[in-house]
Amino acid sequence: MTAIPYRIRRSERARRARILVGGDGVEVVVPRRFPLREVEPFVEAKRAWIERTLRRLERSHAEFPPPRLEDGGEVPYLGERLSLLVRVQPGRSRPRVARRGGVLMVALGGGSLGDALESWYRRRAREEVTVRLDAAVARAGARYASLSIRGQRTRWASCSTTGAMSFNYNLLLAPPEILGYVIEHEVAHLEVPDHSERFWRLLASRCPDWREHERWLRRHGQALRL
């Protein structure tokens, strides 16, 4: 039986061992004092799930290719595929990213391409989310307290009991209707904080295709990473 390749990451915050499967492979996150000799049996016990998840990712990547961060590569942006034109300019202190039609032009100094693109996506996410969020709360007759843009690994968005909104900038890698669905989901939480039947009825009244969008996120969410 072929061994499953994986990497190990110790975490001060981890209370138990867990496995993350993504476009960059298999990662085993363990608490600081977790015995390394127990990692291999733990992975083997989860082999069936890991292999199913890897096959699902392979099918997802064939249907929805993940970003290729290199000169001549591509990144998704709200339903489009933007070509990357990367130039290294020694002496430049800060990277510059500018869009020209379907091309994303990146001038790098000493930083990495991934960091430069993340900063650009974060700035764009604030603009793209703000205009959609303001429209959604206006339609709902609601108000939110604040907006933050983050890059969580496992959460797309959140709405606190005080009306503080948070959205993952990686949502800009998805089609626009997916971003719209996530925003409507969080706006509905301004009125119904839980996931009761009342919440789902309210969401369906505002986003009738929410089930389809939720299935898309489950199927392709792992590809929404720079």
pLDDT at 152 over 90: no
pLDDT at 189 over 80: yes
Residue 28 placed within a domain: yes
pLDDT at 65 over 80: yes
C-alpha to C-alpha distances, 199 to 118, 194, 214, 216, nearest whole angstrom: 33, 7, 15, 20
Residues 211 and 179 occupy one common structural domain = yes
pLDDT at 200 over 90: yes
Q: What is the CATH number of the domain that holds 126?
A: 3.30.2010.10
Q: Percent of the chain beyond pLDDT 90?
A: 77
Read off φ and ψ for residue 108, nearest 5 degrees.
-110, 145
Query: What does the pLDDT read at residue 111?
Result: 84
Other C-beta atoms closer than 10 Å to the C-beta of 211 total 13
Query: What does the pLDDT read at residue 1?
Result: 72
Instruction: Give the tens place of pLDDT for each residue, 83-100.
Output: 999 999 887 888 999 999
pTM value? Answer: 0.81
Residues 93 and 127 occupy one common structural domain = no
pLDDT at 196 over 90: yes
Give me the number of domains the chain comprises. 3
Instruction: Give the tens place of pLDDT for each residue, 164-177.
Output: 999 999 999 999 99
Query: What does the pLDDT read at residue 27?
Result: 94
Name the residue with higher pLDDT: 64 or 122: 122
Confidence of residue 23 (pLDDT cuts 50, 70, 90): confident
Q: Which amino acid is at 112?
A: S
Contact 111, 95 (CB under 8 A): yes
| Parent domain of 57 | 7-63
What contacts 25, CB < 8 A, 6 or more positions away?
5, 6, 7
pLDDT at 75 over 90: yes
Residue 2 placed within a domain: no
Which among 149, 196, 197, 188 has a CA at the least distance from the CA of 172?
149
Q: What's the number of CA atoms in the CB half-sphere (13 Å) around residue 97?
A: 18
pLDDT at 42 over 80: yes
Q: 57-95 burial by CB neighbour count: b if 16+ within 10 A, else e?
A: beebeeebebbebeeeebbbbbeeebebebeeeeeeeeb
d(CA 49, CA 57): 12
Residue 95 placed within a domain: yes
Residues 149 and 180 occupy one common structural domain = yes
